[in-house]
Amino acid sequence: MATQDYKQLVFALLAAVTFGVVSVILVLVWVLHYREGLAWDGGSAEFNWHPVLNVIGFIFLQGIAVVVYRLPWTWIYSKLTMKFVHAGLHLLAFTLVVVAFAAVFDFHNAAAIPNMYSLHSWLGLTALLLYTLQLVLGVGLYLVPVAPPQWRAAFMPLHVYTGLFIFSSVVATALMGFTEKLIFSLKSPAYSSAPPEATLVNVLGLLIVAFGALVLWIVTRPHWKRPGEQTLLSSSPTTEEEDNVQGSAGPALPQPSEGLAGGLRGRSVAKQTDMDD
């Protein structure tokens, strides 16, 4: 990878992580300073787990899981290792999201508030169901070695598209939830008068949009995609075929530095020699 291209990728990654981390900090400031804090007592403090865990899990961790294959310093590790990292991040995100949904349902039931009546709730539950299906199929096809190679290669474009669709939907649904919460909660002063809490949450929304936009930009740049497994580790043609559609279409490029490329080529040659022997 050219030096300029590598610098752009690193800058985009650092910017995305910065926006994501600041988003997590702001959602914590919101619930701890302006709302009732965090608790599990059936009250408003229990509801607050919903935005906090969704921002951490459904947005930040899912976003990092989406771009984890694009981290150049991870290219020295096998694709299988990165699959476990990718799946592990998604599983952690899924766990946090399930708790977030449990919190809001428990709060609604304790306060006699109807469940699942708003568009925000419909989209949120749909995203969770799709995320569950995506996780199950991803593990079943790519981590458990029972699916035929043809199935894995055929399903990969849909797996990639669905992952990006779910992530984008979650960002949009979160913005709807923030607005809904502010309209319901801010009475004196009202949301329309732009009190400090409203400004804070609006900034939080902008940061989440910026994080989501950078994640989508990084993962859809063909020249930033992970090189094929055969290029890196002299693996099988089937694995390389999967890699060629992972993330986005486009040619695989060499490693971000000549030193790294040389080391990987050396490992590839050595491995090929052992196989020939």
Question: Domain coordinates of the chain in residue numbers?
Answer: 3-266
Q: What is the pLDDT of residue 33?
A: 97
Q: What is the pLDDT of residue 272?
A: 41
Q: What is the pLDDT of residue 253?
A: 38
* Confidence (pTM): 0.82
Q: Retrieve residue 273's tokens.
A: 């020699």
* Per-residue pLDDT at 13 exceeds 50: yes
pLDDT band per the 50, 70, 90 thresholds, residue 147: confident
pLDDT mean over 98-117: 96
Q: Which CATH fold topology does 3-266 show? A: Four Helix Bundle (Hemerythrin (Met), subunit A) (1.20.120)
Q: What is the pLDDT of residue 227?
A: 80
Structure confidence by residue, pLDDT tens digits, 154-201? 999 999 999 999 999 999 999 999 999 999 999 999 999 999 999 999
CA atoms within 13 A on the CB side of 66: 33
Percent of the chain surpassing pLDDT 90: 68
Q: What is the pLDDT of residue 86?
A: 95
Find the helix or strand (DSSP H, E) in which 184 lies: helix 149-185
Report the C-alpha gap between 199 and 204 in whole angstroms. 9
Structure confidence by residue, pLDDT tens digits, 224-273? 888 875 555 444 444 444 444 444 333 333 344 444 444 444 444 444 43
Q: What is the pLDDT of residue 243?
A: 47
Structure confidence by residue, pLDDT tens digits, 16-74? 999 999 999 999 999 999 999 999 999 999 999 999 999 999 999 999 999 999 888 88
DSSP 226: P
Radius of gyration of the chain measured on its C-alpha atoms: 21
Q: How many CB atoms lie within 10 A of CB 246?
A: 23
67: left (phi over 0), alpha (psi -120 to 50) or beta: alpha
Packing angle of the helix pair 237-245, 79-110 (nearest 10 deg): 50
| 3-class DSSP state of 249 | coil
